[in-house]
Amino acid sequence: MVKRPTILTTLVLYTLLAAVGVALGASEPNPPAEGFNLQGSDPDAVEIADRVMVELGGRQAWDETRFLTWSFFGRRRHVWDKQTGDIRIEGVDRETERRYLILMNLRTKQGRAWLEGDPVTNPEDLSAMLDNGESVWINDSYWMFMPYKLKDSGVTLKHVGKRQMQDGRPAEVLQLTFEAVGNTPENKYRVYVAADSGLVEQWDFYADAADEEPRFSSPWRNWQRYGRILLSDNRGESSHTDIAVLEALPPEVLTSPEPVDWQALIP
């Protein structure tokens, strides 16, 4: 289990990191993504988001983490080269029960796909599979990495105040709304930053930002260290599996449809 620092320790660490950034001439230790709505966000919400990043391992550690893999609730396995945008998605279609594989680049939207081991060559079918692959990745990666994305492009952060989580512990609550990003910009999230750990330990999902009640709430539990960063696998009734941060990755994992020896790849 990860030993969680006290709030005082977190505040001191955050202050020291900020001071180092100023001393080195850096603009700030956790700069927002281009397009983040800084003007429309609450300053205290932004400060809380920055403290969360410190707890997670720090912005530099996140930026320098390159290869990640995980299975989304046992449904789909992902491999992501965060530096190049190359991804591998292996899964089974829930309607047809057909196995599929997608190799694509998130930046160029170009790639290849296979169904039951056969290459998808029809241009329309391939385009549909790549579009679906991008949508699946957007959804699944948000369920995995959301706390690192509090200052993403298109996000507006508001500080809702202090509330109790489902387990009764106090938390600072941040509200995330979106503009012109992702597949569902009408969504809204409320993210609970636990007072004792400084980590995101619950989120509430609103299908529409105007909704007064969330469609669901789920915990973010079991934070563990992977490489230089922290990741959480437990979402209550379901959990991510096969999580790993890799220092290196054989190129064929992201270029070849050949089966991957996962046991050899992940220690």
- The lowest-confidence range among 11-20, 42-51, 191-200, 231-240 is 11-20
pTM across the whole model: 0.87
Which tens digit of pLDDT belongs to each residue from 73-106?
989 999 999 999 999 999 998 888 999 999 999 9
Q: Kindly tell me if the per-residue pLDDT of 14 is higher than 70.
A: no
Q: Kindly tell me if the per-residue pLDDT of 194 is higher than 60.
A: yes
All structural domains of the chain with their residue ranges: 1-267
DSSP per-residue letters across the chain:
-PPPPPHHHHHHHHHHHHHHHHHTT-S-SSPPPTT--TTTS-HHHHHHHHHHHHHHT-HHHHHH--EEEEEETTTEEEEEETTT-EEEEEEE-TTT--EEEEEEETTT--EEEEETTEE---HHHHHHHHHHHHHHHHHHHHHHHGGGGTT-TTEEEEEEEEEE-TTS-EEEEEEEEESS-SS-TT-EEEEEEETTT-SEEEEEEESSTT-SS-SEEEE-EEEEEETTEEEEEE-SS-B-EEEEEES---GGGGT--SPP-HHHH--
Q: What is the mean pLDDT of residues 137-160?
A: 97
Assign a CATH topology to domain 1-267: outer membrane lipoprotein receptor (LolB), chain A (2.50.20)
